[in-house]
Amino acid sequence: MLLGTGASLAAMAVSGTAQAAAKPMAGEGDAAPQASTPDQIRRMQWWHAAKFGMFIHFGLYSVHERHEWAMENEAIPIGEYQALAPRFNPKPGFAREWAKLAKAAGMKYMVMTTKHHEGFCNFDTKLTDYCATKQGPKRDLVREYVEAARAEGMHVGFYYSLMDWHHPDGARCATDEAARKRFVAYTHGLIRELLTNYGKIDVLWYDVAWPLDAQGWESERMNKMVFELQPDIIVNNRNKLTGDFSTPEQKIVAETNGRAWESCMTLNDSWGYQRADDDWKSSKTIVRNLIKCASGGGNYLLNIGPKPDGSVPEESVQVLNEVGKWMDTNGATIYQSDICQPHRSSYASFTRTGNTLFMHVHFWPGRDVAISGLKTKVKSAHFLKGGQSVKFTQDPYRVHLVELPMEAPDSPVTTLVLECESEPIQDTDFVRREKPRAGV
Ligand code: GLC
């Protein structure tokens, strides 16, 4: 699975706890990093606490049922692709199902594709007829989504693809200045509509800036408009500016120096619905990924690719409900977690709140478990689920938790709570060097 590399773990180790106050690094944006402003810290607060969000890829590609890149990857002629529109008619209440599922999974925000690379707008716009209110459903799918998300208490995010495979200027804007001007006006205009017509929007999630750079997109002016329209919003880094957070995709890599980051990931191998993609991740993998993100101070944005009628594939529903059940008991170890340095184990991962270390055992060995090189004194240990206390011994090299049941007490991951005397830090190099060796 896509877990962090050694390098990212080292980065986590040095990044400390004061994530909001530290200096951001350049992510995929081109601009130089700038220190977080008090305003940025204020806008990002809910998002840091949220930790877990739902990404939704929904568009005409959902009708084609072969991944959201089908239009380009199968070189589908424009006329043939447009013929998908009349067949796009999600069932009433589809977005309520998404929002309820997100809530059940323990997610706190949602980010839906308002327009993906295919160019079809899921919202009402005066700027093109290629939109859901004039073709296909003849309804404003973005409005339905926004209302559904709010009804379940979710923060609301908009994904917006700058790259556009449908608009006549979408490619030639790179070489034709008049086309660029038209296309930038169109793009800024659509974003203006999105951020004017739906009330308070919490996240603007730009994607793929091809074929222009920040100057070509007039990204500074774009973000200025965005913040004028939505003073509380946060934006990502994919319009070639640094934005508020980085967006590692299909991998978990912590940013350094307190820069905010969010790993986005699919549940199978496709963002948009692909009927035959059966490469589903297990709830165990998802929980482990969520732990990994939280321990590195990041968020996890997990995708669903609804079917043409808006219903969520059964496999996704099942996994998300299992994750939600785990979050019902274990959620506090994620939402309220600080960056956590300990990470070395062959069967567990760790999160932390202050001096409390959570050992999340995903491969339950039964009988006993141990942590190597913990440099703080453990005062007490207990199971998170059920609260039963756990016996342990500690020497300079090992915390040894013993007399554990053979069966894992929780699923898919069992959490042990270790109250420590100070911030838990792990040093396995010390163990390798100093643990007494035998005589020859
Ligand atoms: C990529 C893909 C896209 C997907 C996105 C999610 O940029 O082009 O299909 O929407 O990643 O992060």
Mutate which of 57, 113, 203, 208 for ligand 1? The one with the most ligand atoms within 8 Å of its CB, which is 208
Residues with CB under 6 A from ligand 1: 57, 68-69, 207-208, 249, 264, 271
Does residue 17 contact residue 236 with C-beta atoms inside 8 Å? no
Q: Is residue 297 part of a domain?
A: yes
- Cα of 405 vs centre of ligand 1, distance in Å, is 44
158 sits in which H/E element: strand 155-161
Atom from ligand 1 closest to the CA of residue 250:
12
Q: Is residue 385 part of a domain?
A: yes
pLDDT of amino acid 25 = 33
pLDDT at 4 over 60: no
pLDDT of amino acid 12 = 34
Atom from ligand 1 closest to the CA of residue 69:
9
**DSSP state letters, 312-374:** PPHHHHHHHHHHHHHHHHHTHHHHTPBP------SSEEEEEETTEEEEEESS--SEEEEEE-B
Q: Is residue 343 part of a domain?
A: no
pLDDT at 9 over 70: no
Q: Is residue 182 part of a domain?
A: yes
pLDDT at 33 over 60: no
Q: What is the CATH number of the domain that holds 371?
A: 2.60.40.1180
Domain shared by 64 and 87, yes or no? yes
- Cα of 250 vs centre of ligand 1, distance in Å, is 10
Nearest CA to ligand 1 atom 4: 271
> Mean pLDDT, to the nearest integer, of 287-311?
98
Q: Is residue 88 part of a domain?
A: yes
> Mean pLDDT, to the nearest integer, of 359-383?
98
CA atoms of 207 and 303, how far apart (whole Å): 15
Nearest CA to ligand 1 atom 10: 271
Atom from ligand 1 closest to the CA of residue 159:
10
> Mean pLDDT, to the nearest integer, of 245-263?
95
- Cα of 226 vs centre of ligand 1, distance in Å, is 21
Mutate which of 2, 249, 263 for ligand 1? The one with the most ligand atoms within 8 Å of its CB, which is 249
CA atoms of 25 and 5, how far apart (whole Å): 18
- Angle of CA points 156, 131, 218, to nearest 5°: 65
Instruction: Taking the CA atoms of 336, 340, 343 and 345 in sequence, report the sign of the dihedral they define.
Output: negative
Domain shared by 304 and 246, yes or no? yes
Structure tokens at 380: 């007490």
pLDDT at 31 over 90: no
Going by pLDDT thresholds of 50, 70 and 90, the confidence category of residue 56 is very high
> Mean pLDDT, to the nearest integer, of 424-438?
98
Q: Using the 3D structure, point to which of 290, 305, 335 is the last residue of a domain.
A: 335
Share of the chain above pLDDT 70, in %: 92
> Mean pLDDT, to the nearest integer, of 43-54?
98
Does residue 219 contact residue 128 with C-beta atoms inside 8 Å? no
- Cα of 244 vs centre of ligand 1, distance in Å, is 18
Q: Domain range for residue 116?
A: 9-335
pLDDT at 16 over 80: no
pLDDT one-digit tens code per residue, 109-139: 999 999 999 999 999 999 999 999 999 999 9
Domain shared by 283 and 314, yes or no? yes
Atom from ligand 1 closest to the CA of residue 161:
10
> Mean pLDDT, to the nearest integer, of 412-424?
98
- Cα of 358 vs centre of ligand 1, distance in Å, is 33
Domain shared by 66 and 123, yes or no? yes
Q: Using the 3D structure, point to which of 335, 357, 375 is the last residue of a domain.
A: 335
Domain shared by 293 and 391, yes or no? no
Atom from ligand 1 closest to the CA of residue 303:
6
Going by pLDDT thresholds of 50, 70 and 90, the confidence category of residue 22 is very low
pLDDT of amino acid 35 = 66
> Mean pLDDT, to the nearest integer, of 245-257?
94
CA atoms of 263 and 261, how far apart (whole Å): 7
pLDDT of amino acid 256 = 84
pLDDT at 169 over 60: yes
Atom from ligand 1 closest to the CA of residue 264:
12
Domain shared by 130 and 181, yes or no? yes
Calculate the average pLDDT of the chain. Answer: 93
Domain shared by 214 and 121, yes or no? yes
Domain shared by 245 and 196, yes or no? yes
pLDDT at 268 over 70: yes
Mutate which of 207, 237, 246, 302 for ligand 1? The one with the most ligand atoms within 8 Å of its CB, which is 207
What is the pairing mode between strands 262-265 and 234-235?
unpaired
pLDDT of amino acid 151 = 98
Domain shared by 355 and 304, yes or no? no
Number of domains in the chain: 2
State the distance between the two ends of the chain, measured CA to CA, in whole angstroms: 40
Q: Using the 3D structure, point to which of 335, 363, 389 is the last residue of a domain.
A: 335
- Angle of CA points 40, 232, 157, to nearest 5°: 105
Domain shared by 329 and 360, yes or no? no
Instruction: State how far the alpha carbon of 43 is from the alpha carbons of 38, 230, 300, 315, in Å.
Output: 9, 11, 18, 35
List phi, psi (to 5°) of 211: -105, 20
pLDDT at 427 over 50: yes
The mean-pLDDT minimum among 33-37, 88-92, 312-316, 334-338 falls in: 33-37
List all residues 6 or more positions away from 360 whose beta carbon is below 8 Å from its beta carbon: 287, 288, 291, 330, 333, 348, 349, 350, 351, 413, 414, 415
Q: What is the pTM of this model?
A: 0.92
Mutate which of 271, 277, 299, 300 for ligand 1? The one with the most ligand atoms within 8 Å of its CB, which is 271
Does residue 404 contact residue 375 with C-beta atoms inside 8 Å? no
> Mean pLDDT, to the nearest integer, of 263-269?
98
CA atoms of 118 and 141, how far apart (whole Å): 16
Q: Is residue 253 part of a domain?
A: yes
Burial of 128 (0-12, 13-18, 19+ CB in 10 A): middle
pLDDT of amino acid 76 = 98
Domain shared by 378 and 316, yes or no? no
* Residue for token pair 């459903």: 137
pLDDT at 13 over 60: no
What is the pairing mode between strands 356-361 and 348-353?
antiparallel
- Cα of 164 vs centre of ligand 1, distance in Å, is 13
Q: Is residue 4 part of a domain?
A: no
CA atoms of 430 and 374, how far apart (whole Å): 10
pLDDT of amino acid 276 = 98
- Cα of 162 vs centre of ligand 1, distance in Å, is 11
Domain shared by 145 and 196, yes or no? yes
Nearest CA to ligand 1 atom 8: 208
* Residue for token pair 């447009």: 82
- Angle of CA points 260, 144, 200, to nearest 5°: 45
pLDDT at 336 over 50: yes
Q: What is the CATH number of the domain that holds 209?
A: 3.20.20.80
pLDDT one-digit tens code per residue, 385-394: 999 999 999 9
